[in-house]
C-alpha cells in the first residue's frame, strides 16, 4: 500500500509539472506579441487622424464655396480651391478679380446708349471719363475693299526714294490698284528721286496694261528722267520691252528723242 501511495504521489507530481510547463510562455514570444499589438494601435491612430483631417478640409471648402456664391447669375456656386489650412489659393483670388472686371464691362455693354458714358466712368478705376468719337461710316471702293473714311494723303512720299503709292503700284504692275489711286486723285506725273514718273516705271518694268491705263488717264508720254533725259520710249527700247515699244509707237511717241549721251530710241535698242 505504501508503494502504491508513493507511486500515486509521483504520478501526481509529474502531472503538475506537465501542467506548469504547458502554461509557461517563452519570453521572445511575449515580446513579439507586444510589438504587434503596439503597431496595430499606432496604425489605428494614424487612420483616425487622416479621417479627421479630410473631414476638416471638406468642411472648409463648403464654407468658402457658400461665402463666394455670385447672386443674380442663375448658375451653380463656384468652388474656390483652398490649401491645407483652408485659405483660398492665389488662383482663386485672380479668378475673382477677373470676374469683377467682366461684370463691370458687361454693365457698360448692356447700358442704354445715353447712359454708356456714365457706365464706362463707373467701370474705370478712379472714375475717369473718356470722350469717345463717333465711328466713321465705311465706304465701298471699286476694288471691293471696305475701309474707313479718313483724311489720307494719297501722294505721301517715302523718305528714301520719294516714292508714292501710285509709283510703287505702277512699278509692281497692280492695274486695279493704279485705277483706284488715280480715281482718288493721285498725282499721275509725280517724279521719284531719279525723276521717274509712274509711266516710266510701268514702261521699264514691261507692264503693258498699266501703261495703257496711265495713257488713258492722260499721263505725259514724253516725260523725261532728271539726269539722263530719257523718255519712256527710250527706256523701253534700252530694256527690250517689245510689247510696250509697240504700244508707245502706236500712240505716236517721239522716235527721235535724244538723251544726255545723245542716244535715240533706235540707238538704245540696237546697242
Contacts of 61-65 with CB under 8 Å at 24 or more apart are 61/86, 64/88
At 11 the pLDDT is 73
Query: pLDDT tens across 17-60, in order?
Result: 665 555 554 556 566 667 766 776 676 666 666 666 666 666 56
Query: pLDDT tens across 218-251, in order?
Result: 999 999 999 999 999 999 999 999 999 999 999 9
Share of the chain above pLDDT 90, in %: 44
Instruction: List alpha helices for 25-174, DSSP H.
Output: 27-67, 90-110, 116-123, 165-172
CATH of 157-270, one of 1.20.1090.10, 1.25.40.20, 3.40.50.1370, 1.10.3720.10: 1.25.40.20
Query: pLDDT tens across 63-82, in order?
Result: 555 554 444 445 455 555 55
Residue range 162-172: mean pLDDT, rounded: 97
Query: pLDDT tens across 122-144, in order?
Result: 444 444 443 444 544 555 555 55
At 88 the pLDDT is 55
Query: Structural domain boundaries of the chain?
Result: 49-67+78-89, 157-270
At 151 the pLDDT is 76
Block residue for cell numbers 473714311: 149
At 152 the pLDDT is 85
The angle subtended at Cα 94 by Cα 90 and Cα 96, nearest 5°, is: 115
For residues 103 and 11, what is the distance between their CA atoms, to the nearest angstrom? 100
For residues 185 and 148, what is the distance between their CA atoms, to the nearest angstrom? 17
User: Is residue 260's pLDDT more than 60?
Assistant: yes
Amino acid at each position: 500500500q505504501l508503494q502504491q501511495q508513493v507511486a500515486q504521489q509521483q504520478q501526481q507530481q509529474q502531472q503538475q509539472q506537465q501542467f506548469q510547463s504547458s502554461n509557461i510562455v517563452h519570453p521572445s514570444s511575449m515580446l513579439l506579441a507586444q510589438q504587434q499589438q503596439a503597431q496595430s494601435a499606432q496604425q489605428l491612430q494614424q487612420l483616425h487622424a487622416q479621417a479627421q483631417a479630410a473631414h476638416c478640409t471638406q468642411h472648409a471648402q463648403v464654407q468658402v464655396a457658400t461665402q463666394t456664391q455670385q447672386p443674380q447669375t442663375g448658375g451653380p456656386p463656384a468652388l474656390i480651391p483652398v490649401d491645407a489650412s483652408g485659405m483660398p489659393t492665389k488662383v482663386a483670388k485672380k479668378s475673382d478679380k477677373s470676374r469683377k472686371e467682366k461684370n463691370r464691362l458687361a454693365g457698360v455693354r448692356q447700358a442704354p446708349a445715353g447712359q454708356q458714358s456714365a457706365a464706362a466712368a463707373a467701370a474705370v478705376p478712379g472714375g475717369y471719363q473718356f470722350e469717345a468719337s463717333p465711328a466713321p461710316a465705311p465706304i465701298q471702293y471699286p476694288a471691293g475693299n471696305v475701309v474707313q473714311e479718313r483724311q489720307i494723303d494719297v501722294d505721301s512720299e517715302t523718305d528714301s526714294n520719294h516714292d508714292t503709292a501710285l509709283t510703287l503700284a505702277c512699278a509692281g504692275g497692280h492695274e486695279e490698284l493704279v485705277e483706284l489711286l488715280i480715281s482718288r486723285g493721285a498725282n499721275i506725273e509725280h517724279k521719284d528721286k531719279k525723276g521717274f514718273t509712274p509711266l516710266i516705271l510701268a514702261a521699264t518694268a514691261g507692264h503693258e496694261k498699266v501703261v495703257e491705263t496711265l495713257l488713258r488717264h492722260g499721263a505725259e508720254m514724253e516725260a523725261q528722267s532728271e539726269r539722263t533725259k530719257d523718255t519712256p520710249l527710250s527706256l523701253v527700247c534700252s530694256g527690250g520691252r517689245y510689247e510696250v515699244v509697240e504700244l508707245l509707237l502706236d500712240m505716236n511717241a517721239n522716235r527721235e528723242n535724244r538723251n544726255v549721251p545723245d542716244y535715240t530710241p533706235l540707238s538704245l535698242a540696237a546697242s
